[in-house]
Amino acid sequence: MANRRHSSRHVKRLRTYNVREAAKATGSTPGTVRHWHKSGLEGVAGVYPLIFRGVDIIAFLKRRDDDRKRPCGPGRMYCFRCKVPKRPAFGEVEFWPDGPKLGTLRGLCPDCAATMNKRASLAKLLAATGDLTVSMRCAESRLIGTPKPSSNSHSERG
Ligand SMILES: [Zn+2]
């Protein structure tokens, strides 16, 4: 089953939700909400059936999101197919600059061979790549704004 992403976007902080309502507001199922309850989503104390405060649901989902988004450490890139940070295949990445200071690191997932991208600034390149081998790539640089000096030596004759 796909790991569907649940959103707290439609959850109102000041509302309370029973299991069914919480499921609806987050785009999940009552079973999932009960599972959340077991894994840390607190219900209103002493009330049964379960009632959740919107603010708790939002905080719970945010916590889960943060866990998922934890930054990849040095030398790691996030594979969107495997959904985990990985060390790129062969310990190699390419850096493709797309501006004077910014660029994209590109590596291959060792397990599924998907391309993993990571935005990085030149200044933080070392921190982002750790002990990986980085090959610098030059974006096809068309020298815009540096016209050749005019070599127009012949003049038009009438
Ligand atoms: Zn992968």
For 74, the token pair is: 């040095």
| 151 in a structural domain | no
- Residues 107-138 have pLDDT tens digits of 999 999 999 999 888 888 888 888 899 998 87
Contacts 24+ apart (CB under 8 A), 25-34: 25/54, 25/57, 26/57, 26/61, 28/4, 32/6
Same domain, 82 and 45: no
User: How many domains in the chain?
Assistant: 2
pTM for the model stands at 0.47
Same domain, 81 and 53: no
| 106 in a structural domain | yes
| 58 in a structural domain | yes
| 145 in a structural domain | no
Rounded distance from Cα 90 to ligand 1 centre (Å)? 14
- Residues 5-43 have pLDDT tens digits of 688 899 999 999 999 999 999 999 999 999 999 988 999
Same domain, 59 and 81: no
| 116 in a structural domain | yes
| 20 in a structural domain | yes
* Domain limits for position 116: 77-136
Rounded distance from Cα 86 to ligand 1 centre (Å)? 8
Rounded distance from Cα 82 to ligand 1 centre (Å)? 4
More confident residue, 150 or 73: 73
Rounded distance from Cα 150 to ligand 1 centre (Å)? 52
CATH of the domain at 55: 1.10.1660
Same domain, 64 and 85: no
Rounded distance from Cα 106 to ligand 1 centre (Å)? 13
More confident residue, 36 or 3: 36
Same domain, 97 and 125: yes
Rounded distance from Cα 119 to ligand 1 centre (Å)? 18
Largest CA distance in the chain: 100
pLDDT at position 67 is 66
| 89 in a structural domain | yes
| 10 in a structural domain | no
